[in-house]
Amino acid sequence: MRFPGPMAIAAFALIAAAGPAPAQDAEPELSEAFARADLNGDGHLDVDEFVAAIVRRVAELDADGDGALSIEEVPAADPDEFARADRDDDGVLSLGEVVGDRIIHFFGADASGDGVLTLTELEDYAERTDT
Q: In order along the chain (131 residues), what is the average pLDDT of each group of 10 residues?
A: 40 38 57 91 95 92 95 88 93 94 91 95 85 52
Residues 43/2/74/49 CA torsion (nearest 10 deg): -20
Q: Could you tell me the residue range of the domain that residue 72 belongs to?
A: 9-129
> Which CATH number does the domain housing residue 86 bear?
1.10.238
- What confidence score (pLDDT) does residue 16 get? 37
Give start and end residues of each alpha helix (H) in the chain.
23-37, 47-61, 79-85, 95-109, 119-129
- Spatial CA neighbour of 99 closest among 61, 53, 36: 53
Length of the chain: 131
Residue 4 located in a structural domain: no
Pairing of strands 116-117, 45-46: antiparallel
What's at 66, amino acid-wise?
A: D
The answer as to whether 1 is a domain residue is no
Q: How many domains does the chain have?
A: 1
**2 falls within a domain:** no
Name the 3-class secondary structure at 67.
coil
pTM of the predicted structure, to 2 decimals: 0.77
pLDDT for 23? 40
